[in-house]
Structure 1
């Protein structure tokens, strides 16, 4: 293991805005994120956040929300963690955990807004259950995102985007609010304040069209009969 990586792990261990194995809060955080942030502001969660560019970027322009980036790689979230600390941002945190276990760290309805940004497309059929927009994950997200909350999805991968649309179209508990196969040529391009992840910049520089989807889960009482 490289010296820089070891140093990052050591800093993660003491940085208050990193919730990870080995810290007492890690086993007790479920349902207590507002206590962690010491306010009742809505929780916005980014999955597979990597270095946290998007998490930190949104937190800069939306100080009335609390932002949590989730990734299993400690060396990645170190970047976002240290940036937030250097800028004195107290509305940013990072959770080091497997996304498959997200319901171990968030209670039902605890999340206000969920972002799925450039996940691994998992193109092989045998990996379908590991796609973050598969029925398996959507079922979990539905429980964790509160009834007035929403889900954002961005990807460069057309196959994954179409797969997601197909699954959402077959559900009566989902309403698609925004959808485009070319985000930067859409009416919504300014809604993200120009914030891009490392992967988004890389894909866009290669001429890839960025796909974007914004949807919400519909409570049973509001569904069309």
Structure 2
């Protein structure tokens, strides 16, 4: 393991805005994000597969009246967003280092106001369907964690994953207000993210890939 990665892991251990195994808060954060982490009663917005946290931090800048949590398992990536948030004095940002399939161990029912799924691994093989973050398995996990009328947003460059997700959502009776576009930056939804691009989104866009986007609510 390189020195830079070791230094970043060490910083994560010290940074208050990183919640990870080995910290006392990690074991009892479920249901206590506002009280224990943010010290306020503001709405909570969660980004899954947040990577370096560009989107989580970007939204936090735009909405100081909300709390933002990026979730990813890669500590060296989380370090980047964590460090920027600290440097900018953004107290409404936190990062949770865990596997996304364990999300319900860290959030209580209705604790999340809004959820973003941004450029996840498309898992194109049929045998990997259950690992897709928009599969029925994951949707069933998200549903009890989201407050009523809370939006779930999904962005990807991958047409196969996007079409799969649409098929799944359109086949569910508990999904409402589903809207979508196959060309985000030419749509009326482009202002939903205030021009904030992740590193991967910028890379895909530069290659001419159309960014797909949808949002919906559970009944």
SS in 2 for 1:152: strand
Gaps of 5+ in 2: none
State the alpha-carbon separation in 2 of the partners of residues 190 and 43 from structure 1: 20
**Mapped contact 1:43–1:112 kept (Cα < 8 A):** yes
Structure 1 consecutive aligned stretches of length 4 or more whose deviation exceeds 4 Å: none
> Is 1:161 aligned with 2:162?
yes
Corresponding residue for 2:218?
217
Q: Please name the residue that 2:27 is paired with.
A: 27
Counting only pairs closer than 5 Å after superposition, residues 100-119 of structure 1 correspond to structure 2 as 100-119=101-120
Query: CA separation in 1, counterparts of 2:170 and 2:196?
Result: 29
Alpha-carbon distance in structure 2 between the residues aligned to 1:177 and 1:131: 19
Q: How does 1:162-201 map to 2 (within 5 A)?
A: 162-201=163-202
- Aligned residue for 2:116, secondary structure, equals strand
Counterparts of residues 76-95 of structure 1 (less than 5 Å): 76-95=77-96
Q: Which string of whole-angstrom CA distances, capped at 9 and with x for unpartnered residues, describes residues 174-212 of structure 1?
A: 013421000000011122110011110010000000000
Q: Distance in 1 between matches of 2:126 and 2:101?
A: 18
Distance of 2:139 and 2:178 partners within structure 1: 16
Contact kept in structure 2, 1:175 and 1:217, CA below 8 Å: yes
Distance 2:110 2:191 in 1: 28
Structure-2 separation of matches of 1:113 and 1:136: 19
Cα deviation for residue 172 of structure 1 reads 1.0
Report if the CA contact (8 A) 1:176-1:213 is conserved: no
3-state SS in 2 of match to 1:95: strand
Residues 135 and 169 of structure 1, relative CA distance in 2, 3 Å threshold: same
- Give SS of 1:214's match: strand
The 8 Å contact of residues 59 and 67 in structure 1, kept in 2 or not, is answered as yes
C-alpha displacement of 1:68: 0.1
Q: Residue in 1 aligned with 2:138?
A: 137
Q: Distance in 2 between matches of 1:148 and 1:181?
A: 24
SS of residue paired to 1:89? coil
More displaced stretch, 173-182 vs 34-43:
173-182
Coordinate RMSD, CA, aligned: 0.6
1-side partners of 2:180 and 2:141: how far apart?
22
Q: What displacement does 1:130 show? A: 0.1
TM-score, reference length from structure 1: 0.96
How many Å separate the matches in 2 of 1:216 and 1:199?
26
Count of paired positions? 218
Distance 1:144 1:135 in 2: 15
CA offset at residue 150 of structure 1?
Answer: 1.1
SS at match of 2:177: strand
- The corresponding residue for 1:221 is none
